[in-house]
């Protein structure tokens, strides 16, 4: 069975304009912009929907341990970090949160911040917080372009800058610790809650864990034809598939508890004869083989 999914859309103080356009979301005057759509999710904070009902894992033989989003930024996200599984289970009754980013579009000079600069220690970072420094200056920054990929393991400090639209694949967790928020306030003049102590508890200051190699950075992925595996994590494995117009690919779905899914990023496709539009997602149950045909030049994520 192919479950065509509709997302939960979330407004954010830092949201942009693209999601409203590409997802055909309702425009509401003076409302916060849309920052995220949770495209493939059973998380209670933002489930996907099938035939108007929230997606659920049906029985003990199925699981959906990952979550897939589209993210669009009109302003920078907070400088933040996510805990690993052990800390999250102990303190949040949740799994941890490692995530991956695939850049879909980016304004000129758009940046992401990922990992500590050389020489930054827990002590120097804490001193910067106490002295009300701009904490992004302690982080490595990367100018991004479409087709760039970044792995953000739990414990990695990061922030997504303004002017970026991306697909994010992550563990099915909503745990985020904000350590600094650009001195930003909401419409009522209130700053968002920070989680400095928890951030410091889980932040990885090891120099080897703050390098491009550790973050598995790749470039120009949309120019690479065919199916390319991007990463395999204990809770998700996914590939990017680029097909030319009218090209087909056959993908076998392994027998496993974790359900497979697809997020179409560009171009219309058919999957076992059913059409999936651009920026649409589908989940697969009791399907052992997918025959996917592009009706135009196409890129999609396949998750298993």
pLDDT the model gives residue 123: 96
207-261 pLDDT tens trace: 999 999 999 999 999 999 999 999 999 999 999 999 999 999 999 999 999 999 9
Query: Long-range CB contacts (< 8 A, 24+ apart) of 218-221?
Result: 218/148, 218/149, 219/145, 219/147, 219/148, 219/149, 220/147, 221/102, 221/147, 221/148, 221/149
Q: Is there a catalytic annotation at residue 60?
A: no
Task: State whether residue 118 is helix, strand or coil.
Answer: coil
Catalytic residue among 11, 89, 122, 178: 178
Q: Could you give phi then psi for residue 117, rounded to 5 degrees?
A: -65, 155
Instruction: Fill in the DSSP letter of residue 234.
Output: T
Nearest to 234 by CA among 153, 166, 175: 153
Q: What is the mean pLDDT of each run of 10 residues along the chain (304 residues)?
A: 97 96 94 97 97 88 94 98 98 97 98 97 96 96 98 98 98 97 86 95 97 98 98 96 98 94 98 98 96 98 97
Q: 3-class DSSP state for residue 303?
A: strand
CATH number corresponding to 224-303: 2.60.120.10
Domain with CATH 2.60.120.10 in the chain: 2-209, 224-303
Structure tokens at 65: 């341990």
Which CATH architecture best describes the domain 2-209? Sandwich (2.60)
Helix (H), strand (E) at residue 21: helix 18-22
């Amino acid at each position: 069975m192919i479950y065509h999914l509709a997302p939960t859309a979330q407004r954010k103080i830092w949201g942009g304009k693209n999601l409203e356009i590409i997802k055909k979301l309702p425009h509401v005057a003076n409302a916060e912009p849309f920052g995220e759509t949770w495209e493939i999710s059973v998380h209670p904070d933002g489930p996907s929907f099938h035939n108007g009902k929230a997606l659920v894992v049906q029985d003990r033989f199925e699981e959906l341990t990952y979550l897939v989003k589209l993210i669009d930024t009109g302003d920078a996200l907070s400088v933040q970090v996510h805990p690993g599984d052990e800390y999250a289970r102990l303190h949040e009754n949740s799994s941890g949160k490692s995530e991956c980013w695939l850049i879909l579009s980016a304004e000129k000079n758009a940046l992401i911040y990922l990992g500590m600069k050389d020489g930054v220690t827990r002590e120097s970072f804490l001193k910067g917080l106490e002295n009300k420094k701009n904490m992004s200056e302690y982080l490595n920054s990367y100018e991004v372009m479409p087709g760039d990929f970044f792995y953000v393991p739990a414990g990695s400090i990061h922030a997504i800058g303004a002017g970026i639209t991306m697909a994010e694949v992550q563990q099915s967790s909503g745990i985020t610790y904000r350590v600094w928020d650009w001195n930003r306030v909401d419409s009522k003049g209130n700053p968002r809650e920070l989680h400095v102590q928890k951030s410091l508890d889980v932040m990885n200051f090891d120099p080897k864990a703050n390098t491009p190699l550790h973050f598995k950075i790749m470039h120009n992925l949309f120019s690479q034809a065919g199916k390319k595996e991007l990463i395999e994590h204990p809770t998700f494995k996914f590939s990017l598939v680029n097909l030319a117009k009218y090209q087909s690919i056959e993908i076998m779905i392994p027998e496993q508890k974790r359900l497979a899914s697809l997020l179409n990023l560009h171009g219309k496709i058919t999957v076992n004869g059913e059409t999936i539009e651009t920026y649409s997602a589908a989940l697969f149950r009791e399907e052992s083989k997918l025959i996917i045909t592009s009706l135009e030049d196409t890129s999609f994520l396949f998750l298993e």
